[in-house]
Amino acid sequence: MNPEGEVVAQAEHIPVHLGSFRVGVRNLLNWLDREGVELNQGDVVLLNDPYISGTHLNDVMVMEPVYAGGRLVGYVVNKAHHVDVGGPTPGSINPLTKIKVSVINVAVLISVG
């Protein structure tokens, strides 16, 4: 992803994960901006909030900014489905339809700076 959150390269993979990168990264960048969070070199964001990422609780997205010469040049992003996330018991998907009654959504900034 470039600094504006646009896809510049991606691997061949599950279409729903790849197709949601554009939306998920842009939503995450907007959310971070609204929260006043600036990503620095070495920071990593871990996220499974479907309202931001564009898919469901079982899909965990990881995003890390890439800097060259002290300047942001883009982001490395990965999204994968995890069967033990999102349901009331291990390995399950939540049968309830409202996120508020589900497990905790994750939006975590891991910072080394």
Output the pLDDT for position 47.
86
State pLDDT tens for residues 51-104: 888 777 778 888 899 999 999 999 998 887 776 665 666 656 666 545 554 444
Q: Is the dihedral of CA 79, 84, 89, 93 positive or negative?
A: positive
Q: Collapsing DSSP states into helix, strand and coil, what is residue 39? A: coil
Is the CB of residue 40 less than 8 Å from the CB of residue 111?
yes
Alpha carbons 45 and 42: distance in angstroms, whole number: 10
Mean pLDDT, range 4-27, rounded to an integer: 76
Is the CB of residue 13 less than 8 Å from the CB of residue 30?
no
Q: Provide the residue ranges of all domains of the chain, joining segments of one domain with +.
A: 15-110
Strands 59-68 and 71-81: antiparallel
Output the pLDDT for position 8.
76
